[in-house]
Amino acid sequence: MLMSKILIGLLFSLPLFADLFPATTQSTISNANNNILQISPAFPANGMSGIIIHTYKDGASAATTAAVQNENGILTIIDSPLMENGKLPQIATKAIVGDKVIGGYLYDNVLLLAPNQNTYNEITSKYKKNWINPDNYASFISQKRDGVPTKENLSSFAKSYQVGLIAIVKKDSIVIYDPLSQRIISKEPFATQAQTQTPFFSNFEKVRTGWFGSTVDENYYTLMEQIN
């Protein structure tokens, strides 16, 4: 009886860890109506993005476009290039029944926005992911003269650096944000930290913003709440 209770407890506790980072899945388009697609099986979470793989008559395959799941098994085409490079040609192939869809493409590549180094180390040690160095993002937004995380520069950075997910430590929680769909797709409780670095933990003491080299003084948690 004791062993049964232990096993049941483990079964209930496992999804908490597994579901924080939704798994990459492969699906097939079963119905297509312009920009609305039906897939099977559905993605594990609404808000997840995926890329559509079309196989041509000569046997060649290519990623043609991206889509986001708004409800169980129903996708909407994203009107946005897959890569941040205006010099690359955009593939205009229409999604059709039978095309493959990779849900959660590049989801193992994660950028973590954390309030301090201890929190950063705790989370990156706990989850086995390809963690993108936050220094890269700090440099990226500094060069763009933004200085703070926004939905727009997160999306641009993700396409430039092949980032699939953004993990964001917010007040009382950690959320998983898809920069392509610009949606939060999962969330777990996480203790608020007293010590914070602005705009987020990196090896840059200050991140420059604006054309006159000013720095950001807003509170870390205030900045993170703007990404929702």
Write out the residue range of the structural domain in which residue 53 sits. 25-103
| 80 confidence band (pLDDT: 50, 70, 90) | confident
With respect to residue 207, please indicate whether it lies within any of the assigned structural domains.
yes
Query: Both 124 and 183 in a single domain?
Result: yes
| 46 confidence band (pLDDT: 50, 70, 90) | very high
| 14 confidence band (pLDDT: 50, 70, 90) | very low
Which of residues 103, 118, 153 is at a domain's end? 103
With respect to residue 13, please indicate whether it lies within any of the assigned structural domains.
no
Given this model, what pLDDT does residue 146 score?
A: 87
The pLDDT mean for the chain works out to 87
d(CA 90, CA 150): 25
d(CA 130, CA 163): 9
Given this model, what pLDDT does residue 5 score?
A: 37
Which of residues 72, 103, 134 is at a domain's end? 103
Write the pLDDT tens digit of every residue in 107-165: 999 999 999 999 999 999 999 999 999 999 999 999 888 889 999 999 999 999 999 99
Query: Both 140 and 198 in a single domain?
Result: yes
With respect to residue 9, please indicate whether it lies within any of the assigned structural domains.
no
* pLDDT higher than 60, residue 2: no
Query: Both 188 and 129 in a single domain?
Result: yes
With respect to residue 16, please indicate whether it lies within any of the assigned structural domains.
no
With respect to residue 63, please indicate whether it lies within any of the assigned structural domains.
yes
The answer to whether 22 and 45 are in contact (CB under 8 A) is yes
Query: Both 170 and 97 in a single domain?
Result: no
* pLDDT higher than 70, residue 10: no
- Domain count for the chain, please give it: 2
d(CA 137, CA 155): 11
* pLDDT higher than 70, residue 34: yes
Average pLDDT over residues 11-19: 41
Query: Both 141 and 94 in a single domain?
Result: no
Given this model, what pLDDT does residue 217 score?
A: 61
Query: Both 124 and 217 in a single domain?
Result: yes
With respect to residue 189, please indicate whether it lies within any of the assigned structural domains.
yes
Identify the CATH number of the domain in which residue 197 sits: 3.40.50
**How far is CA 187 from each of CA 18, 64, 169, 170, rounded to the nearest angstrom?**
12, 30, 10, 10
With respect to residue 15, please indicate whether it lies within any of the assigned structural domains.
no
Any idea what the Cα angle at residue 134 is, between residues 131 and 135, rounded to 5°?
130
With respect to residue 99, please indicate whether it lies within any of the assigned structural domains.
yes
Q: Where are the beta strands (DSSP E) in the chain?
A: 25-33, 36-40, 49-55, 61-71, 74-78, 100-103, 109-113, 130-132, 165-170, 173-178, 183-189, 208-209, 214-215
Which of residues 87, 103, 119 is at a domain's end? 103
Write the pLDDT tens digit of every residue in 182-210: 999 999 999 999 999 999 999 987 776 65
Beta-bridge mates of residue 61: 55
Q: Dihedral, CA atoms, 194, 198, 203, 207, nearest 10 degrees?
A: -170
pTM of the model: 0.85
